[in-house]
Structure 1
């Protein structure tokens, strides 16, 4: 009995440590990425607004996926100070960032239903070719049904998804700070969502 209690307490502590940031939408019109990076959850304000507060987004995105190709001569090399123009997360647009990685691959916006349940996530930006199960080397067409292997948020890995759109722009991992949180190896922003810091 004592061993079971210790195991239960340990599992609870470890599980709590993984909860780093809630994820919710701002306008209910679709989930472009990881909006709502605060440490507290925001409840849905209407029946049409999606609540993704149960999804967790790690502060450290971890290494680039296996098999991805580094860009040989990116516009923004690793270490470049930039300003983000993407609005995937609250506090991201206008944030100063440092390029942590630059890659050549196909990058997709996808819609999916989390494996943990809850409302569908629409137009999530972004996942790369190497984060899609059995994607092969060819660019996937819009409307293709796929299985995600990305771990950007809770409930994403293993989820069935549909390709909404794609790009072959250079894609970047970035380190940045927003709303008092430091995000490292954040995945992903594409070249058109970045400009040189001024």
Structure 2
């Protein structure tokens, strides 16, 4: 009888521990995005080139088809700026400590220290000059992927409520669709 009770207690404790781990993983995913600077200045990195022929012109209304943050996917946005660059997906350890940020979208060529004008290859270690998220500026990062594209700065109101996000940096052209195609 004591063995049965012990097995039941161990089983219940295991279920509780596993549940707590599952909840923590979900919570940390949201927590990482809560450190994101939802609104930022309209300043762009030095040397960044305004797009010559963007699909979406400044002032255009679009629908966001990206989920970098909660409430972003499906939101209506206004194009604030468009720039031709190389956009990178990066993974990095925040300078403020905490968990490694995996596959952050997007950091541009002009937001990487001493990047020059050649596309950096996956696996390259770089120093980030962007401050999209707390602990990003000055962090050492690894390039995960690179894409030559037009990036857009946008204003939008999250679909889950909340205040309008101003000058969000960045979404790529393939993460947007026209409102009236």
TM-score by length of 1: 0.74
Are the counterparts in 1 of residues 33 and 69 from structure 2 also a CA contact under 8 Å?
no
Give the alignment of 1:136-175 within 5 angstroms. Answer: 136-175=116-155
Are the counterparts in 2 of residues 132 and 148 from structure 1 also a CA contact under 8 Å?
yes
TM-align CA RMSD: 1.8
Give the alignment of 1:44-63 within 5 angstroms. Answer: 45-46=23-24, 50=28, 51-52=31-32, 55-63=35-43
Q: 1:83 to 1:127 in 2, by over 3 A?
A: same
Please say if 1:187 is aligned against 2:165. no
For structure 1, the residue ranges without an aligned partner over 5 or more in a row are 1-43
For structure 2, the residue ranges without an aligned partner over 5 or more in a row are 1-21
Which structure shows the higher helix fraction? Answer: 2
- Cα drift, residue 46 of structure 1: 2.4
The structure whose RCO (Cα within 8 Å, separation 6+) is larger is 2
Give the alignment of 1:66-81 within 5 angstroms. Answer: 66-81=46-61
Q: 1:72 to 1:53 in 2, by over 3 A?
A: closer
1:70-123, Cα deviation, whole Å (9 max, x unpaired)? 011100011110000011010000000000110011000000000000000000
Could you tell me which of 104, 108, 113 is aligned with 1:133?
113
Q: 1:193 to 1:56 in 2, by over 3 A?
A: closer
Moved over 6 A (4+): none
Aligned equivalents of 1:60, 1:103: Cα separation in 2: 17
